[in-house]
Amino acid sequence: MLRRQPVRLALPAALVVLTPLCVLGDDVARAGAVALATAAAEIALATSPLRRVRAARIRTAHALLIAGMTMLLAHNVHTLLSLLRHDGAPDGMAYAATLVLGYLGLLVGGTVITVSGDDVGGHADNAIIAVVATSLAWTVIIQPVELAAGHSLAAQTYEAVLILLVGGMAGVGIRAWTTNANGRDPVGHLVVGVLAVLAGHLVAVLSDDPATGADSPWVDVCWVISYLALAAAFSHPRAVLMSAPQQRTPRLTRGRLAMLGLALLVLPVAIAATDLHSGSRRSVVLAVAAAVLAPLVLGRIATLASLHAAAERRLHTLATVDELTGLPNRRAISAHLTEILARCATADSPGVVVLFLDLDDFKLVNDGYGHATGDRLLVEVAQRLRSAVRSTDLVGRFGGDEFVVAMEGRPEATRDAALTTLSRALAAPVVLDDAEASAAASIGARLVRPGERVSAEQALSAADAAMYVVKRGHRSDVEVAGKPA
């Protein structure tokens, strides 16, 4: 980090030096300042901490970013060389292509780095809103100026593509900045750089002189700020954290659907309003059609989202809940017990008692009365166990006729109270049609004291072994596994 400190300090100094060149200098000085800032961003990318990341996704994104910045550097150096040769501002398809390809490389590379797998939907939502916002700005602010200046359709399309690309980049970056707490500093610099590009295009259009083709020197100030901000982002010591996991995408709620629907309606309505203002009615039908179709399409999406959410809930239930008793299953027991034991290991819990129960006469009931009757016995035992303990205690079915109870509290006192309570709950026989079945169980216990590090598997294994000691000895008391008090 200390080695990168001079680099980070040099960037504000470069801004202080290059800004007066843009504001006070001639066209060559302005182009030179932009080219130097672009070179700084290129160097920052080439030496970025991202180059040491071995993940294929990050390496690919880093290569795309370098390729995009190389295109932009070639574009800006070409501008400088043309001005030095007194050829004026360059033009042509190749020159224009370097700018588009450069932006495209930064967009794809930046998106791959900043978008995590769990939040693709959130980034997509932000990109949609940002593209709609920039499209609205184009329709209401920029296009009228372009038309008044007599720009060709090709020139207008080129400018629109650039602005939409930058708008998408801004949406993705803002989402990453709000969700990635660990990489917020470098992502913040990235967002500043993208917003500066957007501001530069806006100022360039609004300040363009149709007679001379000259624009405001503040356009070049925006470019300099943009490239230096990108350099700051990629040279930041925490640049690798731009790809850190982020919060999961929120569900597609009615509010989010309404927001997306509004975003879909804004542009056609704005176009229709602009046409009406100019005396044309060509886009009114388009706006009406969009207003009708958007709710229908979003309603269908909402239905599909609801079905998907219901399926997810069902799968979660099947994965974590025992279908017969409704208690947590083996997987859920292990996960919950892991959380409890983690608190105990750091002394954030007064202790944990893990009880492993195995019904004594379940095989006799199953063999004598059938599996349906055995299932009814298991359901009754589950209800008794759940009713006998606190709502914060874990009660689960481990499998077959085995149950697990986990309770937090001072180990010895909690164990004694639990044994009394559970023995009383299981003492009465269960009436099953014309027969009675015993609900008695052999119980093994594992006491875990504060500061003791035990895994869920170890605790369950020890309690299970203690339970078998009880069962083999045909005793009604409890064998305790673990350290002595």
Any idea which residues carry the catalytic annotation? 401
Altogether, the residues listed in the chain come to a count of: 485
Phi, psi at residue 322, to the nearest 5°? Answer: -70, 125
Q: Decide if 50 contacts 113 (C-beta within 8 A).
A: yes
Token output for 350? 């007064």
Query: What's the number of CA atoms in the CB half-sphere (13 Å) around residue 407?
Result: 24
Contact 352, 408 (CB under 8 A): yes
- Distance set, CA 51 to CA 29, 59, 133 (Å): 33, 7, 34
> According to DSSP H, which parts of 115-183 are helical?
120-137, 143-148, 153-179
Q: What angle do CA 288, 290, 296 make, to 5 degrees?
A: 115
Compute how many other C-beta atoms are within 10 angstroms of the C-beta atom of residue 319: 10
Cα angle 107, 139, 227 (rounded to 5 degrees) comes to 30
Q: How far is CA 438 from the centre of its chain?
A: 52
- Report the C-alpha gap between 150 and 339 in whole angstroms: 68
The alpha helices in 346-410, defined as continuous H runs, are 362-369, 371-388
Q: How many CB atoms lie within 10 A of CB 180?
A: 22
> 357, 358, 368: which is closest to 436 by C-alpha?
368
How far, in Å, CA of 65 to CA of 73, rounded? 12
- Per DSSP, what are the bridge partners of residue 171? none
Partners of 267 in the beta sheet? none
Distance CA(110)–CA(173), nearest Å, equals 8
Q: How far apart are CA 119 and CA 100, in angstroms?
A: 27
The answer to whether the CB of 197 falls within 8 A of the CB of 170 is no
- Give the three-state DSSP class for 350: coil
- Whether residue 176 contacts residue 244, with contact meaning beta carbons closer than 8 Å, is answered with no
Alpha helices in 88-119 (DSSP H): 93-114
